[in-house]
A and B are shown apart, each in its own frame.
Chain A
Amino acid sequence: MVQTTAAQKTAPAPARQGWAALRRRDTITRLSVITALLAFTLFGLPQLLSLYYTDAMTQVAAYAIVALGLGMLVGRVGLYSLGQVAVLAIGAWAAARLLFATGQPFPVVLVEAGLITMLLGTLIGLPALRLRGLYFALITLMLSGAITVVLATVNFPNGGGGFTGYNGGSLHIPAIRRPSIAGTDVAYYRYAVVVAIIMFVLVYAHIKTRPGRAWAAIRQSEPAALAAGINITFYKIWAFALASFITGVAGGVLAGADRFLYSIDFHPQDSIALLAVVLMGGVYSMYGAVIAALLNSLLPAALQDWGVSQDWLTILFGIGVVQVLTTAPAGIVDQFPRDMKRLGGLLWRLVRRPAPGAPAASAPPGAPGAPGASRGGKA
């Protein structure tokens, strides 16, 4: 039966504790910290960054939304989707088509792109939701493969006419327009961050209310959820629709960021890398989505800036996935603070004991439990 996965058994604990702990903390302090962070992200960061990194951060904002949607599906409902990049492509396509065809305000287009993606994503995903676990993952991979072929044939709109808006013979492809208030790179970065914040709040609101509780029940045990009177199919569709909606909005943000879209930029394989970073970031916390997006979009830019081959990044992501799955199911967002705490403890002991004791002291920190030790070792 379904509920057998170890991930499902072990994962809820840290997640529950994390959220409970958050709730216990002083709400005002927490809110002010978040506000300060957001204010810094919106106003301080662009002052410090070159345009190169500002552009990268715009991508981080867009991909944080995508990662949030996928993280929610994986972490809260237990649906491993290997087709999110296809969903993103649908959103980007719809947004680009609307931006070329109409003069509607950008936010309206974003919402429309989200709704279209939600509709299509749900229609396509509806039958897939009958499947579980591995089969769900694989059918999403198959469907995204099919969507990719369609996109390669239809192409992304580039200012042409007709339903597809594609003119393959164009000698001068026009750029996709940006919102009038966010024409420059820095302004568009702020715009993207604001959209991302709204999407995070939207998802947060779901998690904190009835759907969130239903998802938690479903993930722990579908039979128990059924017994509790939860309409499993309905809430699964709801989760899938919400993820599709925000991913569609992210597609719209991406359309404005990239300004030129190509079907070769959305491949089924991309979904694999996306799942990798989302798992590494951590699927049980919304912060994990931000970390995933940083891994996905900022790290490559930085590596390039430092002259390191992107192949190393692929290798790193591969190792990261295996490491997360074998030793740290809650991802970096959960693991990193604990590693830091352990490191802090280690340092503290080193400080307290004079040098001769140091080697001996380094042993205990790993001891508190085998999993901890291995986690520390790998990190």
Chain B
Amino acid sequence: MPSWSELQPFIVSGLALGGVYALSGVGLVVLYRATGVLYLAFGAVGAMGALIAYSLISAGAPGWAGWIVCVLFGGVLTLGYGMIFGPPLARRDPLVKAVATLGLTLVLFGVMDLLWTSSGGQARSITLPTDNGGFSLAQIQVTWTQVLSLGLGIALTVGTGAFLRYTSLGTAMRAMANDREITATLGVPVRRVEAAAWFGCGVLGGLAGLLLADLVALDATTLTFLVISSLAAALIGQLRSIPVTFGAALVIGLVHDLLTPITQLTDYRDMSPFVLAAIALLWVSRHGTVMSRSREEA
């Protein structure tokens, strides 16, 4: 067993990893609550946005231009998907809506591999100005980017919770995610609210993609399927509770990194998100709450 002083840095790195999961996990839940769609293309959209930013920056564009394009790409693409495929799928089961976004994931993934090939051993990365500063904690450096992502996670947790609950647009989104037709009968401009929800979520996806490309890697495969691990946190939050998702993401990150220095368990540490999610899901289902319902109220 590692000593306490050896473990300390893993606590810090675990929280940073948790911040990564939180960013996309919270993003998934926010989207789900606002649109009623589990947007599994979240990672792919962010990855493609970040790759576009990378190409622009490599071609000589200023950094901020690349970042804005990345975020806008996420927003516009997601808006486009939502506007085209939202209505025909509106009355379908959440499961069908989620699987349809897997279709988008496949399309984006194929496009990314075509356009940003690795046939020459290319390794890409994107750095943000916030990488350079930071402070030292438990013998290791914490960059402002990590702080930023954690902060964004917290801001989302607090902000979107309040937004969805207290603003009229937020209320309209929740109502719409729950039942589009009834919401429409109540006089809510469904199309516009939907558009706002999709666009906002896409922007979030682009923003997350940019940060994750910096924190994890600028790699289409890694970022696209990071969603699977992040989904674990969202599932623990039952796709509903943003604070629980945020907390679960931190716990998953901590567990994962704390297992790293423990020789006997280190090979299995990558199971942590899946095992924790499975335990949580089963525990909740045993206590017979919403989990066994197929349609959630947002």
Contact = CB atoms under 8 A, between A and B. Distances in A.
Contacts of A326: 85, 88-89, 100
Nearest to A146: B274
Contacts of A273: 106
Contacts, number: 160
Given A133-B294, A314-B109, A6 B92 contact: yes
B99 interface: yes
A325 B293 contact: no
A146 B278 contact: yes
Contacts of A268: 225, 228
A5 B94 CA distance: 8
A311 B113 contact: yes
B110 A318 contact: yes
B110 A131 contact: no
B250 to A, nearest CB: 18
B173 interface: no
Interface string B94-117: 111011101111111111011000
Q: Contact size class for B? A: 35 or more
B92 A143 contact: no
Interface of B is mostly: helix
B106 A317 contact: yes
Interface in B70-93: 85, 88-89, 91-93
Interface string A1-42: 110111110000000000000000000000000000000000
A232 interface: no
Contacts of A322: 85, 100, 103-104
Interface residues of A, number: 49
B109 A7 contact: no
Interface of B: 38, 85, 88-89, 91-96, 98-100, 102-111, 113-114, 225, 228-229, 231-232, 235, 239, 267-268, 270-271, 273-275, 277-278, 281-282, 285-286, 291-295
A150 B277 CA distance: 16
A145 B270 CA distance: 9
A139 to B, nearest CB: 5
Given A315-B106, A318-B104, A279 B99 contact: yes
A130 B285 contact: yes
Given A137-B95, A268-B228, A276-B102, A142 B293 contact: no
A143 B225 contact: no
A153 B268 contact: yes
A134 interface: yes
Contact of A131 (B105, B108, B285, B295): B285
A5 B38 CA distance: 16
A198 B72 CA distance: 53
Interface in A42-80: 80
Contacts of A346: none
B102 A6 contact: no
A132 B281 CA distance: 11
Contacts of A131: 281, 285, 291-292
A80 B97 CA distance: 13
A133 B89 contact: no
A225 interface: no
A336 interface: no
B207 to A, nearest CB: 24
- Among B100, B108, B267, the most chain A Cβ lie within 10 Å of the Cβ of B100
Given A146-B275, A314-B113, A138 B103 contact: no
A273 B88 CA distance: 23
Nearest to B288: A130
A304 interface: no
Contacts of A101: none
